[in-house]
Structure 1
Amino acid sequence: MADNATPTIIKGLEGVYFTETKICKVDGFKGRLWYRGYSIESLAKNSSFEEVSYLILYGSLPNAEALSVFTKKLVSYMNLDSGIIGLVKMLSPNMLSMDVLRSAVSSLPAFADKKVYQSEAEEKLEESAEIIGRICGIVALMGRLKAGGEYVAPDQSLGVAQNILYMMTGKIPEDKVAKMLDVMMLLHAEHSSNASTFCTIVAGSTLADIYSAITAGICALKGPLHGGADEKALDMMRAIGNPDNTEKYIEEALDGKKRIMGFGHRVYKAYDPRAKVIKSYLEDIQNGSTMEVQTLTAIALRAEKMMVEKLGETKGIWPNVDFFSGPVYTYIGIPKELFTPLFAASRSPGWCAHMLEYWQDNRLIRPLDYYNGQLDIPYVPLDQRK
């Protein structure tokens, strides 16, 4: 393109492909999602967070022995060094949860147990397992501290989701509750080149280390247009207060052209398949939980029904994964302040896998921006400026 030609600007890089991948496929028009070729529906029904993390990182489902070894590895990394515990304790009273997580993850190289590996690929996979386990452990510690408790080490006989709840409460969770958290983490484990994954790859494309790249992903996830949407959706449900107020609240919000958090998606123009899975759990807990959860569930289901009828088929605005998450997390016992850190823990396998894949044929990501300002402005000395 000639220097004086005006380029086509693609705001937000929407619709622009920057790399190839075998990790994840999203079909936004049909509402489909696959991890390494496996549908999200089949994985949510049959798999676990540990198994999906292995699949995303290694490219295939593990056998029983490999899964057992990998699960034990993740759980062992959830056992935090005293230095990390001290850092999280120091930062937590004065910083937002995502800022604490970002700072703690960026400090992980100081506590890494460095070993000699036969290959660089083996080392990167081990670092990835460490990052996943450490983030899960840090999130659990943050929850424990918010509840006023002291650090609880993970139980090697439990899985990742079980241990997050165990480390937060000091009690082994009910199977149903732990399974629900496991599925929530599985559903959030990967989602192609979203904003945080793209930031991870951009940072890693400079050949920065994987800890720095994942820290960049956490920074991007913090924003309410990405990782914080489930918190905003829960705030809306609590503002509605009574299920009978739902339709009036939604109608007034739409009339005022306010955004209804948890609806619409940059890629999905159909019902988010992850939201469908979460909705099935919402219906399951509707009549068997606290009054708060029952109220939130009723509001969520009524709001979803109204929004689908008004905007689903006509505007292509459907519920996304964030909309139903709040009531489910509340049922599980996850405080709102930990929704986005838990999202980071869940997404860490995807971040790591994309970084490892991109490094196999790395090219520094360096897009262009079109300058439309003045040129050759005469310089005015400081003492002559008005």
Structure 2
Amino acid sequence: MKAGLDGVVAAETVLSHSDAQAARLWIRGVPVERAARNLGYEGVVALLWEGFAGEGLAREGIVAEFGAGRQRAFARLDSWLPSATGATPGEATRRCLAALPDDSTPADIVGALAVGVPAIVRRQQGLPPTPPDPALPTTADFLRMVSGKAAAPDLVHALDTYFVVASENGLGPSTLAARVVASTGSSLAASVLAAYCAFEGPLHGGAPGPALTMVDEAQASGDVDAWLDRKLAAGERLIGFGNRAFPNGDPRATLLADAVKQLGDDNARLRFALAFERKALAALERQRPGKTLRPNLEIYAALLLEACGIPRDAFTPTFATTRAIGWLAHAMEQKATGRMLRPTSRYIGPALSD
């Protein structure tokens, strides 16, 4: 057994497949590139949830169902938002999910996050929550609820791309947590709460914010090459590079990079990030020859979310808003097996005595 359970098959799934060597990802048989281009966020929800949350699911129906879910979530804000005063966005998001009743539907759970995260952001700014517009697609309404006004189409398109590519990526720690909890017969709401608690760790969904902080530090250093060499010589990790699931490159990173570039070539932040990526890859080759580390989605996710007006400390809750559809799909798939997950361990302690 390898540390980190690398290579251990813990579930059979119809939901996604990745080819690590080819750097490819499919969502229920559809390449992630095509999903982002043709399906959009609600279309991917319909694809993932088909047969689990209904039959014959379609994008238009998911838009309407999620719009109604956001309205119900807004009506419940007073049940938890006041208690989140002074909490970080991550802590407040845990309260948002913990307040969900056990009979919450998948649309209720997604709606709680899609309304709760913007409400948390606005509360931090001393502003009241923005009521949802149920007629809008999720990403357009999410940005409108954050800023209080309609978002530019290019920002909506960028966030929709992010919501697609970040929605599902196989059996990561948070998804495994969702499946384990669901396998015991616990509710979908409990499963997503467990997944979110695993997701908050800086090695998992908590990485986009620190990735942007790293870029800031590099830019402030005045000598990026020397800064990179010092960091790597000290054995420190470059956030945003390397992914155990995609050692030869993350296809989602390419999609997010393209989405960020479409927001404008005059973006000085983006120009620096592109230059930083090239310098970081060269430094990795100098300092760690033979060890291939490709960019993952974290830096471009952070740049995209920043451009959309999402505060840095709300990056992980925003990430969770879209990853929740994957958690729910896995939880529903696990429940359908009727089997509780119960692995075993290998004892390596002191010699056993009589």
Matched, 1:301 2:274: yes
Distance in 2 (alpha carbons) for counterparts of 1:46 and 1:227: 26
Q: Does 1:11 align with 2:9?
A: no
Contact 1:311 1:318 survives alignment (8 Å): no
Partner residue in 2 for 1:383: none
1:65 to partner: Cα distance = 9.1
Identity, in percent, stands at 27
Q: Which residue of structure 1 lines up, in the alignment, with residue 247 of structure 2?
A: 269
> In the aligned structure 2, how far is the partner of 1:86 from the partner of 1:224?
29
> How far, CA to CA, are the matches of 1:85 and 1:375 in structure 2?
56
Q: Which structure has the larger Rg over C-alpha atoms?
A: 1
Report the CA distance between 1:188 and its aligned residue: 0.6
| Aligned CA distance change for structure 1 residues 165 and 12 (closer, same or farther; 3 Å) | same
Higher mean displacement: 334-343 or 100-109: 100-109
Give the match for residue 201 of structure 2: 223
Q: Tell me the distance in 2 between the aligned counterparts of 1:22 and 1:65.
A: 16
What is the match of residue 32 of structure 2? 40
Residues 307 and 30 from structure 1, CA distance in 2 versus in 1: closer, same or farther, beyond 3 angstroms? farther
Are 2:129 and 2:145, in contact at CA under 8 Å, matched by a contact in 1?
Answer: yes
Find out whether 1:349 has 2:325 as its counterpart.
yes
RMSD of equivalent CA atoms = 2.5
CA drift at 1:316:
2.2
Q: 2:132, 2:145 within 8 Å by CA — same for their partners in 1?
A: yes
Please show how residues 1-386 of structure 1 align to structure 2 within 5 Å. 9-58=1-50, 66-79=58-71, 80-93=73-86, 95-109=87-101, 112=104, 127-242=105-220, 245-289=223-267, 294-295=268-269, 297-311=270-284, 314-374=290-350
Q: Secondary structure at the match of 2:298?
A: coil
Amino acid at match of 1:161: T
Seen in structure 2, the aligned counterparts of structure 1 residues 43 and 359 have a Cα distance that, compared at 3 Å, is same
**Superposition deviation, residue 318 in structure 1:** 0.4
TM-score of the superposed pair, with normalisation by structure 2: 0.91
2 CA distance for matches of 1:44 and 1:320?
A: 17
Conservation of the 8 A alpha-carbon contact between 2:63 and 2:135? no
Q: TM-score, normalised by structure 1?
A: 0.84
Moved more, 38-47 or 246-255: 246-255
Deviation of residue 209 (structure 1)? 1.1
> What displacement does 1:370 show?
2.5
TM superposition shift of 1:161: 0.5
1:192-222 per-position Cα deviation (integer Å, ceiling 9, x unaligned): 0011000000111111111111110000000
Which residue is equivalent to 1:119? none
Residue 6 of structure 1 is matched in structure 2 by: none
- The Cα of 1:377 is off from its aligned counterpart by 7.5
Query: Separation in 1 of the partners of 2:284 and 2:2?
Result: 26
Question: How many angstroms apart in 2 are the aligned matches of 1:272 and 1:110?
Answer: 36
In structure 1, stretches of 5+ residues that fail to align are 1-8, 113-126, 379-386
Shift of 1:63: 12
Describe the SS at the equivalent of 1:47.
helix
- The residue matched to 2:337 in structure 1 has which SS? coil
Partners in 1 of 2:206 and 2:224 — Cα distance? 22
